[in-house]
Structure 1
Amino acid sequence: MTSSDDSSKMKTSNEKSNNLLAKRYIGLEKSIWTELNVLPIVHKAINLGQGFIDYAPPYYFIDLYKETLDDPNIFLHQYTREMGHRRLVEAISNVYSPYFNRKIDPLTEILVTDGATQSLFNCIHSFINPDDEVKYLSSFLQYFLKLMNA
């Protein structure tokens, strides 16, 4: 087999793998974060763009973490509720309910996500259908245009 045969075989393989990707992501360019994450390394700076820190966690936190890992209670080692840990959503409800003059149901009206990107992703994929018109304000991350099928 020649090297040209290998390259055509690889191309076919890549084309097949692209067919597995949802169409909304085909042609998605690299995120701006790809470029921004390199800059602090090059300039020996702290990357505050995505929450990267330049220090270790406090010892008391490490000790509590170790204590939790060593605890034989199997319920401490399970997945948490997808919409947010129950104690966390209850605490959020307790803080914000007075502002709305009503009890916010922590189990049906509060969603905790891993950050802004996941939150917007969830909203867009939950409420936006193909061919829906979406109005957005500048500035925004270009990533969200692809999510909205722009």
Structure 2
Amino acid sequence: MTTQAPERSYRIGDVAERVGVTTRTIRYYEELGLLRTASARTKGAHRLYTDADIARLEELIRLRDLLGLTLEELVALAEAEEARAALRNQWAESATDIERARIVKAAIPLVERQLELVRARQDRLSEFAGELSEKLRRLRKRQAELAKRAT
């Protein structure tokens, strides 16, 4: 018989320092539903977080920073990912092709939504890159004109 070691827990300040955010950010992410509200508490009523909570927070921060998502977009992306995780669990427990076909059908719009969010961000970044390229082109043109006048 194997016994599982109790899951390690961390206080909010330790999590904030480890992930590189403020405790206020963690609380705000809880308020938005991005991060599960810490159900475990110390005797002094301090929030406690698990390794799974930390991994989720790190993924949220990575997505926010990598894609430059707004909090609204981050919520939508996270909700779709949670729904997909539930479907993955159903897949593991399903026994029939009919059940699995239903799961695949349900997963497709979730991935489409996530892809839509990423592509919208790409479009905005591409537009911004175009604006910067045009500014750079104009600046180089001015630089050349000024260099010509100086000679």
- Give the shorter-chain TM-score range: under 0.3
TM-score (norm. length: structure 1):
0.25
TM-score (norm 2): 0.25
Q: Using CA pairs under 8 Å that are at least 6 residues apart, name the structure with larger relative contact order, 1 or 2.
A: 1
Question: Per residue, is there more helix in 1 or in 2?
Answer: 2
